[in-house]
Amino acid sequence: MSFDLVANVVIAGVLTGLVYGLMALGLSVIFGVVRVVNFAHGEMMTVAMYAATLLFGALHLDPFLSMLPVAALFFVLGYALQAGLINPFITRPEHSQFMLLVAVAIVMVNALLMIFGPDARNVQLDYQLESFEIGKLLIDKARLYAALAAVLAAAGLFLFFRFSLTGKAIRACADNYLGAKVVGLNVKKYYAFTFGLGSACVAVAGCAMALLVDVTPPLGPYYTLLAFVIVIVGGLGSMTGALLGGVLIGVSEALAGLFITPSAKSMFSFGLLILVLLLRPQGLLGRR
């Protein structure tokens, strides 16, 4: 087991992990503000991946170019989902909202199955086979670009929340629902906006991921669970935590794939989830 091999695997893990992190960031933002557990998150990611492959198939659009339109579309869909389906049921007990999204997830996954069938789809671009060579290290071009896109999107989100008026309003809603209402913020509208933002994150992550893996419908529930593992490990409500958690999971999956068997790599993630839930449920950087 040469050092170079391990190093390459770790780098690949970090890069993929950043894309995971962006996906989880969307979930974290949604949960942190709206307090809704988006059980359909991975399914949304999968839909985004399919969208990217569709646009590639029809228009030969590079997924990086697809990111913008798909993100815009997802923003609208997310907004609509929150406004139409979830907002009216905000006063219902927790497990009721949860079930709502479970139902949405089921419909999404199986609609994908119905429309696209079970066979894998992917995007095929030349640079997917190329890599950068730095000494003995090999860095996949596609992976690097995907990770860059993820970091850019995350940075954009971070700046938005820090400096924009809407961003600050959303943070207010997250901090204190009643207080925000009292000062006149239309909390439900901001919830919808936030869900839209979270969905847009997922869209970008999905387009990026389409470059890295083939997409099949069962990826939906897999990514949902992965997003939860990352968000819980990194800390619910913490943006840097989501990215950090993503990297952690990406690396551990990659290493597990190397040292154990590839098919067992997610076992490690679930084991980690169990441990974190038990020992430090607020995650590494989160606050309850």
Partner 1 sequence: MRKEFVYLGILALLMIALPAFVGPYALSVATLILYFAYTGQAWNVMMGFAGQLSLGHSLYVGVGAYAAGAIFFHYGIGPWAGLWVAMLLCVALGLVIGFLAFRFGISGVYFALLTIAFAEFTRIGFDHLDWLGGPGGMFLKVAQRDTWDVLNFRGPPLMYYYSMLLLTMGAFVLCAWLLRSRAGYYWQAIRENEEAAQALGINTFRWKMAAVALSAAMTSISGVFFAFYYNNLFPHEIFSMNRSIELILGPVIGGIGTLFGPIFGAAVLTLLSDGITEALAALGWEIPGIKQVFYGLVLLAVVMFLPHGIWPFVARLFRITR
Cβ–Cβ under 8 Å, residues 9 and 254: yes
* Residue with Cβ nearer partner 1 (110 or 164): 110
CB of 61 to partner 1, least distance (A): 27
CB of 274 to partner 1, least distance (A): 5
Q: Which helix (H) or strand (E) holds 4?
A: helix 3-34
Q: Is 45 in the site for partner 1 (CB under 8 A)?
A: no
As beta bridge partners, residue 132 has 139
Q: Is 103 in the site for partner 1 (CB under 8 A)?
A: yes
Query: Interface residues for partner 1 in 144-203 (CB under 8 A)?
Result: none
Name the one range near partner 1 by CB under 8 A: 60-68, 90-98, 166-174, 237-245.
Answer: 90-98
Name the one range near partner 1 by CB under 8 A: 7-15, 51-59, 95-103, 141-149.
Answer: 95-103
Name the one range near partner 1 by CB under 8 A: 7-15, 73-81, 112-120, 146-154.
Answer: 112-120
Cβ–Cβ under 8 Å, residues 21 and 150: yes
| First-to-last C-alpha distance (Å) of the chain | 41
Binding-residue pattern over the window 268 to 287 for partner 1, x denoting contact by CB under 8 A = --xx-xx--xxx-x------
> For the chain, give me the number of helices (H) and strands (E)?
11, 2
Q: Is 124 in the site for partner 1 (CB under 8 A)?
A: no
* Residue with Cβ nearer partner 1 (117 or 179): 117
Give backbone dihedrals phi and psi of 135, rounded to 5 degrees, phi first.
65, -125
- Residue 101: count of CB within 10 angstroms of its CB: 20
The token duo for 28 is: 């974290």
CA dist list (Å): 268 to 45, 102, 159, 179, 249: 22, 24, 33, 42, 9
Chain residues in the site for partner 1 (CB under 8 A): 37, 85, 89, 92, 94-96, 98-100, 102-114, 117-118, 217, 221, 225, 228-229, 232, 261, 263-264, 266-267, 270-271, 273-274, 277-279, 281
